Every structure is written in structure tokens, then in C-alpha cells.
Amino acid sequence: MRSPRLIFLQVSGSLCLLLFIACNNKGTGKNDAIANTPQQLQAKVTDIIRSYLDEALDNKGLLPDSTLLTQVRIVNLVYKSKDFNSFWCKEENWLPSGDSMHQFINNAKLFGLFPEDYHLNDLDPIRQKFFSDSLGKSDRKNAILWAKADMMLTDAFIRAIKDVKLGRLPKDSITLRKDSVLSDSFYLVQFDLLNQSSSVNTLMSSLEPKQRGYQMLKKGIQEFLDGAGNKEFTIVPPPGKDMANFRKALQKRLYEEGFITTDSVAVDSAQLAQAVKKFQEKKGITVDGKAGEGTVRMLNMSDREKFIRIAISMDKYKMLPEKMPSKYIWVNLPGFQMQLMVDDSVKISSKVICGKPKTRTPVLTSAVSELITYPQWVPPPSIIQKEILPAVKKNPGYLEKKGFSLLDSKGEEVDPFSVDWSQYSKAIPYRVVQGSGDANALGIMKFVFANKYSVYLHDTNQRYLFGQTNRSLSHGCVRVQEWEKLAFYLLRNDSIASGSRSSRSDSVKTWLQKKQKRSIALKSRMPVFIRYFTCEGTGNGIEFYDDIYGDDKMLREKYFATK
């Protein structure tokens, strides 16, 4: 009979032997991953890529060391098409495409992207190990490191293709792109194209939008980055109950950028207002010395926040059609500007007035189908409920004062003093109409296009408001300063498009002179795009606008919260 001690020794020995065999049979062990020759390294890299991807597919993209491949299904598809051979490296060396991809990641901001989204923080240490290994041993011969780097570069390349072509924002009700998902074959074709050129930058550039606005914005990024600082400024809270804290933070923020000489001794209101004016002048916003909501938003916009605005704006361009019409009207709400684009050039440029934050102008796509001279204004239900009804409840004479008529279902005028307004809280059984004339809110020209919001482009009887910097002032429609240039261009364009030798321009001039209401239907409808971009590329770099409706703030918090 064997002694307990002998049994223990035999069992222990067997366990050690099994452990030794297991360790030596495991293909991804540290020692087993070290290759003796470049050819052996290449074979090991292939085996590791195959086994790691098998595991990652079962673990939602996680590699054994917890590195996450965000596009693991397509990564596996790519390697499967190559028999799991490496794509970016070969036999202890980076291929030109590998160097090009790593350089692209480092300079991803030039495409409105964030380098950290493409494994930069994991790839850089690996490359440093390879290049610092002067003896050509150890890490440079480690197949696991080469395999991991190759898979991360592939994952980054696939993600970058999607981000460059489609963007990172979800498809919404105004997205006009037809392709919201890229096919597997599309990705495989991009790998084939890269094999032919080895230039990742060239390939990515071919996937970008061709619109003038996008290209102008991208062109200004390098200059913006060169001048951007990493300094974080004091956040100024919204003006509220704690005015002492607000004033303290405001003074410190103005001091940090040199608009005031001290932050240790409280300054008086006059000094603070003067410093605010200097800031407003520099930023090109309304100069009134008051730190209102818009000024505070601008004070809190650091260079980091500006770059996120750039990234969001570039993604918004990717939601437009790949090919824009040859002629179209473009309205950018935060920029308070309208442009008539012809063959990608600005034919007409005009200041505009858009909706207040409470009665915001919607983003939309439509086409101008009709012009109306000396139009009537029929306020939409939202304005009747929020403004007109409360006013007539206090004083029925409000309607006459504003030039409104009250009409019943038969079109007959009703005396507002005869109506019991207290019985209505929302809708009313009457039409409110402001007659045509120089005092009409729509001015003397209206541009009609189909939309569910009852908004349009038009002239205004308050033309002095175009002199203001902040022109978020309307009930939702877009008031156009250069309405006359736009109207007569549309008329000429319609005549040319229809092959007519005569233009209706002379007739319209006559109707305007006689102050007559007339409707002119356009056979050639002009596309109109009303959009929301808080920054744009100009000949002088990138211009930033106030986030008047808070749209970019919402997108930043929802989709770029970690940036």
C-alpha cells in the first residue's frame, strides 16, 4: 500500500507536468509568441489574429487583453478574405500602408475626427516599443504585439471609413443621404483600393462630401489647430439668483483672457460692463456690456468646445445629398445668412432674421414654388395661442391696433368686441388676417414653399432689425434683407428654364409700384435648405456662431460627451 506522502508527490508531479504541457501548447503565451525569424513571426501573427478574432467574436469585440474592436464583425470578414494574414505589417516591418494609417490617426483632427477613437492610445506604445528596440530582439519579435497592432489598425480603418463618409450623427427626419449603412462589400473595396495606393489620406479624402461648405470648413482646420490653446477658462454660470458667484466667475473669466486687469479685487459694475464690451467686440456679437445668455455661452466656449462644433458641423454636411442641386437657396440659422448657390458659387448673399428660441425656425428641405407680392399674413395656430389670444383677452382692440381682421368661416369680418374670448384657451373658430400693405409683417414679398410648419421666406416691415448682430427675432419665418435680388433672380431663372422669351419681372415691378397683391407660380422650383451650422469656413478661416437654439449643445452632450 502506497503511503500518503508518495501519493501526494505523484499527484503533484502529474499536475506540474500537465501545467507545463498546457503552457507550452498555448499559442498566445509570451514566450511562445517570440519568433526566431521574420518568416516565423509572420506565421505566428496569422495564427494569433485567427485565434484572437474567434474569441473577440464571442465576446462582443473584446480581445483577450480587453482591447475593444468596435467593428469586430467586419474586421473578421476582412481578415477571413485574406486567410487571416496581417494587412499593415510583414516580417518585422510596417508596410507603407501601416505607416500611412498610423499617420492618419495622429492627424485625424484634420478630418474633424478624434484620434483617441481609433486606438491611438494603444497603438502608440506598441510602435514605440518596436522602434526603440535597437537590438532587434524582445518586443520587436513578439507576434502578439504585431497581431494586436494590425487588428487595431484594421478596426480603426473601418471605423474611419464610416465616420468620414456617413458621420457619427444618427439619421433624422431631414437627412437626405440615401445610404445610412455601408455594405460589407464597400469596406472590402476600400481595402483593395488602399492596396493600390497605400495612401490612407487620399482614400479618406475621396469619401468626403464635395459640398463647398464642407471643403471650406475642412480647409480652415489646420489654421484653427495651429492657433488653438489647451488652456481651460473659468466656467461662468448662467445669471441667476446667486449674483455674487456669477459676478465673481465673470470677472475671473474676463481676467483670464486679458479683458480686465484683476481678478483678486472686485471691480464695479461700470468696469465689468466695459470688459464685457471688449469681449463682445472681439467675438463679433452684440456690444451692449451685458453678460446675457448669448454672451455667457460665448464666454464658455473654449478651443476644445470649438473643435467639437467643427466635428458636429462636418457630420451635418454628411447628412446632405452627395450631390447638391446646381442651384439652391441655403439658409444657415446661427449665421443669420442666406445664400443663393449657383454651380457651387455664391450668387446672392443676404442677412436674414430667424425665429426666437421660443418660436424657432425649423430645419427643413423644400422648394420655392410661388412668389406673392403684397401678401396677407395669416398667423399660424401657435402664434394665435401663445400671443394673439392672450392679448385680445386683455384688450380686443389689439387686433385693430396690429392691423388684423377677424373673419368667420364664411369669410365675413367679425367685431372682436362681440366675442366672448374667455371661453377659448387654445384654438379659436376664426381666421386672423393681417391685410397686405407696407405695414404688413411680411413686407411686400413672400416666397412660398411647402412645409408642415407654415413658415416661408419674406420681406419685413421692420428692416432696421437687419442692423442688429443677434437676429433671432421672428416668430419662425425667415426675413430676407435682399429679398428683391432673390425675387428677380428666381423670375429670370424661371423664364430661362421654361424656355420663355419674356420675363415676368416687369409685371412684378408694376404690381409692387401699385401695391397690388399678386401670385406668381414658378415652373422651375428653386430648392431651399434651411439648416443649423454653428461654424462655417470662410476666406479668413473658421467663423463660429452662437448656438442660438442649443442644438449643438444637445448633440455634444448626447454623442460627444466623452470628448
**Is the per-residue pLDDT at 492 higher than 70?**
yes
Task: Give pLDDT, residue 20.
Answer: 33
Beta-carbon contacts of residue 515 (< 8 Å; ≥ 6 apart): 374, 436, 437, 438, 444
pLDDT band at 31 (very low <50, low <70, confident <90, very high): low
Provide the 10 A C-beta neighbour count for residue 426.
Answer: 9
Question: Which residue did the predictor score with more confidence, 541 or 131?
Answer: 541
Euclidean distance between CA atoms 222 and 213, whole angstroms: 16
Euclidean distance between CA atoms 1 and 11, whole angstroms: 16
The most confident of the ranges 227-231, 283-287, 375-379, 516-520 is 516-520
Residue-wise burial string across 336-357, b where 16 or more C-beta atoms lie within 10 A, e elsewhere: bbbbbbeeeeeeeebbbbbbee
Lowest-confidence pick of 68-72, 139-143, 335-339, 474-478: 139-143
- The CATH architecture to which 327-375+442-532 belongs is Beta Barrel (2.40)
Q: How many CA atoms lie within 13 A of 104 on its CB side?
A: 26
Cell of 276: 464685457
* Helix/strand/coil for 356: coil
DSSP 501-517: SS-SHHHHHHHHHTT--
Q: 118 near 107, Cβ under 8 Å?
A: no
Q: Which CATH class is domain 243-301?
A: mainly alpha
Task: Give pLDDT, residue 501.
Answer: 65
Beta-carbon contacts of residue 4 (< 8 Å; ≥ 6 apart): none
Q: 56 near 71, Cβ under 8 Å?
A: no
User: Which residues belong to CATH 2.40.440.10 in the chain?
Assistant: 327-375+442-532
- The amino acid occupying position 85 is N
Euclidean distance between CA atoms 482 and 240, whole angstroms: 39
User: Which residues belong to CATH 1.10.101 in the chain?
Assistant: 243-301
Q: 38 near 91, Cβ under 8 Å?
A: yes
Beta strand 345-355 with 478-480 is: antiparallel
Lowest-confidence pick of 178-187, 388-397, 447-456, 538-547: 178-187
Cell of 227: 492657433
* Helix/strand/coil for 495: helix
* Cut 0.95: pTM above it: no
Residue ranges with strand state E in 404-497 = 404-407, 431-434, 445-449, 457-458, 472-474, 478-480
**Is the per-residue pLDDT at 13 higher than 60?**
no
Task: Give pLDDT, residue 1.
Answer: 45
Euclidean distance between CA atoms 405 and 415, whole angstroms: 9
pLDDT band at 380 (very low <50, low <70, confident <90, very high): confident
Q: 405 near 430, Cβ under 8 Å?
A: no
Task: Give pLDDT, residue 85.
Answer: 96
Q: Respond yes or no: is residue 23 known to be catalytic.
A: no
Q: 363 near 476, Cβ under 8 Å?
A: no
Q: 440 near 434, Cβ under 8 Å?
A: yes
Q: Respond yes or no: is residue 16 known to be catalytic.
A: no
* Interval 292-348: pLDDT, tens: 888 998 898 889 999 999 999 999 999 999 899 999 999 999 999 999 999 999 999
Task: Give pLDDT, residue 381.
Answer: 85
Q: How many CA atoms lie within 13 A of 3 on its CB side?
A: 3
Q: 528 near 365, Cβ under 8 Å?
A: yes
Euclidean distance between CA atoms 459 and 478, whole angstroms: 9
Beta strand 518-531 with 364-373 is: antiparallel
pLDDT band at 457 (very low <50, low <70, confident <90, very high): very high
Choose the catalytic residue: 354, 458, 475, 535: 458
State which H helix or E strand residue 275 sits in: helix 269-283
* Percentage with pLDDT > 70 across the chain: 93
Lowest-confidence pick of 343-352, 379-388, 547-556: 379-388
Euclidean distance between CA atoms 397 and 401, whole angstroms: 6
> How open is the CA angle 327-468-330, to the nearest 5 degrees?
10
Beta strand 364-373 with 431-434 is: unpaired
Give me the mean pLDDT over the 368-384 stretch: 91
Residue with cell 454628411: 318
Euclidean distance between CA atoms 248 and 537, whole angstroms: 35
Cell of 414: 367679425
Q: 49 near 86, Cβ under 8 Å?
A: yes
Give me the mean pLDDT over the 444-464 stretch: 95
State which H helix or E strand residue 365 sits in: strand 364-373
The gap between the terminal CA atoms of the chain, to the nearest Å, is 71
Cell of 265: 479685487
Average pLDDT of the chain, as a whole number: 89
Which residue in 383, 368, 378 sits closest to 442, CA to CA? 378
Give me the mean pLDDT over the 205-210 stretch: 96
Lowest-confidence pick of 320-334, 430-444, 480-494: 430-444
pLDDT band at 26 (very low <50, low <70, confident <90, very high): very low
Chain centroid to Cα 47, Å, comes to: 42
The most confident of the ranges 99-113, 245-259, 396-410 is 99-113
Task: Give pLDDT, residue 230.
Answer: 73
Beta strand 535-538 with 445-449 is: unpaired
**Is the per-residue pLDDT at 17 higher than 50?**
no
